[in-house]
Structure 1
Amino acid sequence: MRQSLRFILGLTFFFTFLNSFASIGDPIAEPTKEKIKISGTVIEKISKQPLEYATVTITNSKDPKAITGGITNAKGNFSIEVAPGIYNIKIEFISFKAIEFNQKNLQKNTDLGTLALVEDIAQLDEVVIRAERSTVEIKLDKKVYSVGQDMIVKGGTVSDVLENVPSVSVDVEGNVSLRGNENVRIFIDGRPSNALNMAEALRQIPADAIDKVEVITNPSARYDAEGGAGILNIVLKKGKNLGFNGSFIASIGDPETYGASANLNYKTEKLNFFTSTGYDYRTSEGAGKTNSTYFNSDESIRNYIDETKNTERLRKGISTKTGLEWTVAPNTFWTNSISYRDNRGNTSDIVKYNNYDANRIFTSTRERINDGFDSGENVEFASNFLKNFDDKGHKLTVDFSYATEKDAESSSITDQVLGSTNAPNNDITINDEKQNQLQLQADYVLPIGEGGQFEAGYKGNFNNLDNIYSINNNGTINPNLSNTLEYKERINAIYTQYGFKVNKFSYLFGLRWEDTKIDINLLDEPGSSFNTKKYNNFFPSAFINYELSDESSVSLSYSKRLSRPRGRFLNPATNYSSNINIFQGNPDLDPSFTDKFDFGYLKRWEKITFNTSLYYESTKNVFTFVRYPNGDVVEQEIDNTDDGIDNPVLTETPVILSTPVNLGREHKIGFEFTLNYNPLKIWKLNSSFNLFNSKTIGENKYKDINGVEQTQNLDNEAFSWFTRVSSRLTLPAKVDWQLSGMYFGPRNTAQGKSLGNYVVNMAFSKDILKDKATIALNVSDLFNSRKMRSETNLDNVSSYSEFQWRRRQINLSFTYRLNMKKTDKEKNAPKNGGDEGGGEFPG
């Protein structure tokens, strides 16, 4: 408690300093002058869609020097204050014909109305524009990370993209966490992904297919209530320019990696055909070790086992998304698409166990070789209907999607004591799973008055999963580790929310209701094990934002969230590459519920954008991983030949199980900031920092090797932090250089400690062929330092572990753009992919 008090006091002093710092450099207040407000809405003429980031410049008619100006928000709205007078007004947007008002006499508040811009075909055909959005956009209810200009991730995967996103961290196994919490919901184009192995699924999507990532740390009622930490929405690229255009990307890397993809689009006034197709061939090498000390009941040392693991992986696959968007009417759009992904590969693990006696004298070496093969196929059909009733945001969207996925894994494991005359043990594992998912969704948005907006909607999510897992030990099925899982999920939800603005205050209040029924059946248990979980809950949310000035604002938000255990948390299939340190899911996990509070501050200077949050989370029934002896032992032959006599001895090694369990409560308080700084036109700096203190209360009960029930006290208080810094600099000859570094601080756990680790990535990029093509070289994990290190202390075993999923990777990529500008901004496109629900936060 004392540590938490010091932590809060430190943050209080920080905010005091920040407030003082914010005032430095601000101009001295001038005498108050009466001003008037000039407002309006900018849209694209054909689609009637709002144009975000259109520029509005207001100049004195007698002096060409700009007096003031601004940009439009997500709804295309702008509002600018000026002193009464006669001005020239110009509204511009890239590749559109500007609208100008000359010699306009402005003496009172003036609404210029709806301003419809028309694309300038001459610019589209003849001009190459080097426009680029900021790497990180900060919006009122989310942060948007734009991938297009990030050289670090070229030739990589979605996991590489997420490693560079503020507030997000990815461990060496590919598990994603938000603000240090792994209970995060992953969306693809606004639709939740229910992949059993999310880490592997994210490695199968190439980074070149990603347009942006939306980070929603405190979601409103329009979003799924699931995801205690928040939501990450991965938005895929979609071509929208008129005519035929596209991009082609080819990459090669070391360890051996090849990739090729095409993002093509053909658009007429009524129809838009698009496809994004790619092939990926990727190898990677990993390594790990676990050094364990085993103890007798009197706490004396029994023996030592040093376990080393070397892994080689090969992944290859093709993925495509092809669709047609039909402009049924100028304000009505219907989009249908089919996605297909086929991935397969193999993995080779070589695990060695060096055995030592109590005096650290070597006794024997066991070798365990695991050769595995896996294949996966996914097909999804998605349909989206969008009806804009007017150009002020009144709209209805209806979504339908159906997906089916098949995955098969098998492995052959050979286990033997080196030098022994006994025959080796042979194990075969088989893991087959099939999943079908149906989603239905409808969202309605109705603007009310000036700055008000009402939303309501329904969503149904229906998911079936069948998983068969078996382990064959020397021709005999192991009943303790084999299972058949049947998982059925039915979730129905309705929501409503209302947002409005009063002077400088913006409000958004919402309520979501979800009804859940989940059947988890283990069909091969004696008499079959049926477990049905039913619950329905209300999930309120509230957001308040206050504009301190045009450059700064503060916000306060609250939401109630839940986390349903999924993927590897639920699936009882066993990771069997090591038979003395195994992982197994827990199908009896219950959901956890979280109350989230967030206080934010945003400040903009000419070259600096600073955004910070102080957050608090209280989670009931939180689930976490624990390790304990599961009651099984592995018999092992030790050839002790020190006396010159072949005298094999059998020893028993307890099996240590790692599995998730529900605990009591977790309280977490943290502080986070992001800082974007452009010291020079050619130099950009982005940084983020997150520190938090979490306190967990709970216990775990299990039966030891003698069948006696044991209780583990898992009460724990931990303080940790992580930070990232990215620098992008344009060198001579227009070569772009990007360098990024991340550090993850150490953290205490209930059973030991996770140690700190760091990673540095570097990339170079150069535009060629009159800026129609780009060549990029990037190095991931420059110093080969990305290793997960941990210490575990149990009653009968103490261990130190290291694990590196992928060693240093070097990629060279070539991108060619066909009839496209190098810009991230999508124009004249229906905004139906970014948000799961309807509109933006008011204001």
Structure 2
Amino acid sequence: MKKIKIAVLLVLFFTSFYNYAQQTPGRNKVKVTGKVFEKVSKQPLEYATISIMAPNDTKVIAGGITNPKGEFEIAVAPGTYDIKIEFISFKSTEIKQKSIEDDTNLGIVNLSEDAAQLNEVVVRAEKSSVEIKLDKKVYNVGQDMMVKGGTVSDVLDNVPSVSVDTEGNVSLRGSDNIRILIDGRPSNAINVAEALRQLPADAIDKVEVITNPSARYDAEGGSGLINIILKKGKNQGFNGTFIASTGLPETYGLSANLNYKTEKLNYFTTAGYNYRTNEGGGKTNSEYFNEDGTTKSFLDEDRDTKRIRDGFNARGGVEWSITPTTFWTNAINYQNNTGEDKDVINYNNYDAARVFTGSTYRLNNGDTSSENIEYTSNLIKNFNDKGHKLTADLSVSRNTDDSNSVIVADPVNTTLNNQVQKQILFQADYVLPLGEGSQFEAGYKGSFGDLNNEYLITDLINGQNVKNTNLSNNLEYKENINALYAQYGFKVNKFSYLFGLRWEDTNIEVNLLDTNDFNTKKYNNLFPSAFISYEISDQSNFNVSYSKRLSRPRGRFMNPATNFSSNINIFQGNPDLDPSLTDKYDIGYIKRWTKVTFSTSAYFEDTKDVFSFVRTPTGRFENGIPVILSRPINLGKEQKFGFEFTFNYNPYKWWRLNSNFNFYNVQTAGENSYVDASTGETVIQNLDNKANSWFARISSKVTLPYKIDWQLTGMYNGEQKTAQGKNLGQFGMNTSLSKDVLKDKGTIAFNISDVFNSRIMKSYTYLENQTSYSEMQFRKRQFNLSFTYRFNKAKSDRDKNGAPKNEGGNDGGGEFPG
């Protein structure tokens, strides 16, 4: 009952404070301030509760909670009070008979962990799974049963403003032009989508969505950042979580999250094994035309896919409290994955009258393997308890990604694609408070990497494998980036300001070794940012922001290797792509009530040299069918304007609703030219386009009888017009049931992904001599059953900030002033 009382005090505090204020209109209020820290690490405790009561009375007169810096400020009428400071699993502190006649600073209150509670499994009211802050949305993963036994991709697909398509590609506000960080650092994986599907959901503490980043962040990611923060346990002693899962199509998983903490050292580790089967499929129905516009023929292309992934990942590290003000964290991350891909394509040909004329097929059997290893080190020196600190981060990684396949067609092809990527990252950040409500930050970041990609295609001719020199290549990609930034934030009355400037110098080499084609791209840019917020009241804020962002072409965008899975619809990267620059503007408003949190924003993005995919004929034919090439180009410019709404409602203790809606308009302008292989003439494609689209998600969590939790989430992506066709709307629904067992030490969860098997990408493409309708489903409906077991750990334990706020990387910088 004690823990339940603590959880509901937030509501009672405001109610009691309001009533008391109404009863004493003639008395002026004074401020009670202070800070709450963890005694051992001397780090701030966020969400600690402060209760102010009449002497020897349990009735709460006023109260509040601490902010991320451990600070609190409470208004109360002058008088003598008892003051109580509490935090879950910590010993509470009481200050008896405190006389408060003027503004009073209680100083630093240190709380110690309560050893008697560490082995107790505590069930308390949960914090809302979505926290809306001024500069970001924070999604607390541990509270969402929808992702139990799942992966990071499943987590992101439940986060406001974020969506994950059927191929695992992540987008933010409808744009895939984003940067994904893990513990504040860019993901070093070659295939980011696949890496996210390998990392278990239980390894994640929370996800931060930052739609308009400040100068302290990398300029990379035109539409914003997603920061995935991994768990690091803080309970004294040995504690952890085990999760076992199974599902259909055939899926197995086992993961463990363990932690051992002493006074000076905190050891943490996460390890997981998973075996996944993804069954999918698709089709492309095309109609071909003669030069006079009459129908020439039809081709129906049916695809059936099956992908198997067998993966192991592990992460281990230690955090050392060298002194009460100095912390050093070292960790090693390791991933090893293998897989099998089977792709069967049947081609059915028809004449102009839709009369069947023949069929062929294409079988692609492939194997994949990847190994990623990364060492990270993070050092933090706190000069005082007011936020004056210096941090340094180092990351060294090596990633390999190999794949090979045999394509049974005419002729038989063999493909080999081997990639090796090495990267070193160093970052230093300095934070200096300059007085009440003001702060200066500065830092440096260096990122140095190189990627070598060997792509080989051979054709079986007269019993011999002969290298296809037209499609094979060796790519060498080197990227060196140096960055400096500075920003200053301050508060004047109810206004808070943050102004920053970032400078990045980029040196990129894209070398095609087979053809001796060497390309060097050097550029440096300034990236200003500005944020202004106005505190209308304790429950509402208004803010405006601006930042300049950059998007560098990477990976498959730059690699000229041809994706040969279909011999008539092929994809090829473009090593001559230039970066795109985006000016971002955002106006936001937040309002909080007792049971409701409402957030809305209007945003505008103006992008130059935007990346766009174009489809052009190659002049080649396969069995009389023209071969179409899809590739990225720098189109011209794009302007995007949109509105976003987030609505969280807790009508009852047993029911919670979270919803997110995003509507946007996109206008692109540009053209593409290519040489018609049959006539030798230059063809100009006008790619100007105007389109509207929208995205909606709503999630409901209900506690049923017998303490069974039921969660239901539905999402819809609206139709969107493209320069060469349109993408149709897409609906999906997930559901989950969860029940605590073994005196709440265990949890059984059952979930269904894509209940109606409806998450299918559907599109129309209109070219000069061809129209096509396509469907693609990467993963069909999936059933999953998982069991979670916790020992020496509460069901809803959150990070008690016993370690530095930015451990594991300082792309989070300091807090927004005020």
The whole-number CA distance in structure 2 between the counterparts of 1:371 and 1:505 is: 61
Pick from 751, 754, 773: which aligns with 1:781? 754
Deviation at 1:195, TM superposition (A): 3.2
Does the CA contact (< 8 Å) of 2:119 and 2:793 recur in 1?
A: no
The whole-number CA distance in structure 1 between the counterparts of 2:125 and 2:587 is: 33
Deviation at 1:471, TM superposition (A): 1.6
Pick from 570, 574, 578: which aligns with 1:582? 570
RMSD (Å) for aligned C-alpha atoms: 1.5
**Aligned partner of 1:555: which letter?**
N
Deviation at 1:126, TM superposition (A): 3.6
Alignment partner of 1:366: what SS? strand
Deviation at 1:840, TM superposition (A): 1.0
Pick from 156, 171, 177: which aligns with 2:165? 171
Deviation at 1:773, TM superposition (A): 0.8
The whole-number CA distance in structure 2 between the counterparts of 1:704 and 1:195 is: 38
Does residue 840 (structure 1) correspond to residue 815 (structure 2)? The answer is: yes
Pick from 568, 575, 578: which aligns with 2:556? 568
Who is 1:467 aligned against?
A: 453
Q: Please list the CA deviations of residues 20-42 of structure 1 after superposition, one character each: whole Å capped at 9, or x if unmatched.
A: xxxxxx99x97786321111111
Does the CA contact (< 8 Å) of 1:132 and 1:824 recur in 2?
A: no
Alignment partner of 1:208: what SS? helix
Who is 1:626 aligned against?
A: 614
Pick from 532, 535, 560: which aligns with 1:547? 535
Who is 1:802 aligned against?
A: 775
Who is 2:414 aligned against?
A: 428
Who is 1:763 aligned against?
A: 736
**Aligned partner of 1:578: which letter?**
S
Pick from 479, 485, 488: which aligns with 2:478? 488
Quick check: 155-164 or 596-605, which moved more?
Answer: 155-164
Deviation at 1:99, TM superposition (A): 1.6
The whole-number CA distance in structure 2 between the counterparts of 1:685 and 1:86 is: 41
Who is 2:490 aligned against?
A: 500
Pick from 538, 543, 556: which aligns with 2:526? 538
Does residue 739 (structure 1) correspond to residue 712 (structure 2)? The answer is: yes
Pick from 429, 447, 451: which aligns with 2:433? 447
Does residue 113 (structure 1) correspond to residue 107 (structure 2)? The answer is: yes
Deviation at 1:61, TM superposition (A): 3.4
Who is 2:213 aligned against?
A: 219
Distance change in 2, residues 1:214/1:824 (3 Å) = farther
Alignment partner of 2:354: what SS? coil
Deviation at 1:743, TM superposition (A): 0.3
The whole-number CA distance in structure 1 between the counterparts of 2:442 and 2:27 is: 43
Quick check: 263-272 or 734-743, which moved more?
Answer: 263-272
Who is 1:395 aligned against?
A: 389
The whole-number CA distance in structure 1 between the counterparts of 2:496 and 2:537 is: 14
Does the CA contact (< 8 Å) of 2:85 and 2:93 recur in 1?
A: yes
Does the CA contact (< 8 Å) of 1:263 and 1:276 recur in 2?
A: yes
Who is 1:664 aligned against?
A: 636
**Aligned partner of 1:511: which letter?**
L
Alignment partner of 2:142: what SS? coil
Does residue 711 (structure 1) correspond to residue 684 (structure 2)? The answer is: yes
**Aligned partner of 2:258: which letter?**
L
The whole-number CA distance in structure 2 between the counterparts of 1:271 and 1:539 is: 39
Who is 2:9 aligned against?
A: none
Quick check: 223-232 or 147-156, which moved more?
Answer: 147-156
Pick from 741, 745, 748: which aligns with 1:772? 745
**Aligned partner of 2:378: which letter?**
N
Who is 1:829 aligned against?
A: 803
1:590-669 correspondence runs (5 A) = 590-634=578-622, 636=623, 652-669=624-641
Who is 1:70 aligned against?
A: 64
Deviation at 1:514, TM superposition (A): 0.4
Alignment partner of 1:234: what SS? strand
1:326-475 correspondence runs (5 A) = 326-415=320-409, 424-474=410-460, 475=465
Does the CA contact (< 8 Å) of 1:441 and 1:457 recur in 2?
A: yes
Q: Please list the CA deviations of residues 484-534 of structure 1 after superposition, one character each: whole Å capped at 9, or x if unmatched.
A: 110000000011111111111111111111000000011112xx1111110
Deviation at 1:62, TM superposition (A): 7.1
The whole-number CA distance in structure 2 between the counterparts of 1:126 and 1:412 is: 56
Who is 2:12 aligned against?
A: none
The whole-number CA distance in structure 2 between the counterparts of 1:453 and 1:32 is: 37
Who is 2:227 aligned against?
A: 233
The whole-number CA distance in structure 1 between the counterparts of 2:153 and 2:321 is: 35
Who is 2:658 aligned against?
A: 686
Does the CA contact (< 8 Å) of 1:131 and 1:824 recur in 2?
A: no
Does the CA contact (< 8 Å) of 2:370 and 2:401 recur in 1?
A: yes
Q: Please list the CA deviations of residues 190-240 of structure 1 after superposition, one character each: whole Å capped at 9, or x if unmatched.
A: 111243332222212122221111101000111000000111011111222
Pick from 142, 159, 163: which aligns with 1:148? 142
Deviation at 1:563, TM superposition (A): 0.4
Deviation at 1:128, TM superposition (A): 2.4
Query: TM-score with structure 2 length normalisation?
Result: 0.95
Q: Please list the CA deviations of residues 654-676 of structure 1 after superposition, one character each: whole Å capped at 9, or x if unmatched.
A: 11111111011111110001111
Who is 1:251 aligned against?
A: 245
Gaps of 5+ in 2: 1-17
Does the CA contact (< 8 Å) of 1:305 and 1:356 recur in 2?
A: yes
Q: Please list the CA deviations of residues 413-446 of structure 1 after superposition, one character each: whole Å capped at 9, or x if unmatched.
A: 112xxxxxxxx42011110000000000111111
Who is 1:701 aligned against?
A: 673
**Aligned partner of 1:740: which letter?**
T
Alignment partner of 2:514: what SS? coil
Alignment partner of 1:728: what SS? strand
Alignment partner of 1:425: what SS? coil
Alignment partner of 2:292: what SS? coil
Alignment partner of 1:64: what SS? coil
Gaps of 5+ in 1: 1-25, 416-423, 637-651
The whole-number CA distance in structure 2 between the counterparts of 1:396 and 1:711 is: 55
**Aligned partner of 2:166: which letter?**
V
Quick check: 444-453 or 782-791, which moved more?
Answer: 444-453
Deviation at 1:363, TM superposition (A): 0.6
The total of aligned residue pairs comes to 791
Distance change in 2, residues 1:110/1:834 (3 Å) = farther
Alignment partner of 1:130: what SS? coil
**Aligned partner of 1:656: which letter?**
I
Does the CA contact (< 8 Å) of 1:630 and 1:702 recur in 2?
A: no
Who is 1:514 aligned against?
A: 504
Deviation at 1:160, TM superposition (A): 1.2
Q: Please list the CA deviations of residues 648-695 of structure 1 after superposition, one character each: whole Å capped at 9, or x if unmatched.
A: xxxx21111111110111111100011110000011000000000111
Q: Please list the CA deviations of residues 238-260 of structure 1 after superposition, one character each: whole Å capped at 9, or x if unmatched.
A: 22211111111110000000000
Pick from 258, 264, 283: which aligns with 2:258? 264
Does the CA contact (< 8 Å) of 1:197 and 1:568 recur in 2?
A: no
Q: Please list the CA deviations of residues 791-822 of structure 1 after superposition, one character each: whole Å capped at 9, or x if unmatched.
A: 00000110000000000011111111121111
Matched-pair identity in %: 65
The whole-number CA distance in structure 2 between the counterparts of 1:72 and 1:606 is: 18
The whole-number CA distance in structure 2 between the counterparts of 1:765 and 1:119 is: 30
The whole-number CA distance in structure 2 between the counterparts of 1:133 and 1:703 is: 60
Distance change in 2, residues 1:321/1:140 (3 Å) = same
Alignment partner of 2:119: what SS? helix
The whole-number CA distance in structure 2 between the counterparts of 1:173 and 1:708 is: 37
Does the CA contact (< 8 Å) of 2:376 and 2:808 recur in 1?
A: no
The whole-number CA distance in structure 2 between the counterparts of 1:156 and 1:126 is: 27
The whole-number CA distance in structure 2 between the counterparts of 1:96 and 1:431 is: 54
Quick check: 399-408 or 78-87, which moved more?
Answer: 78-87
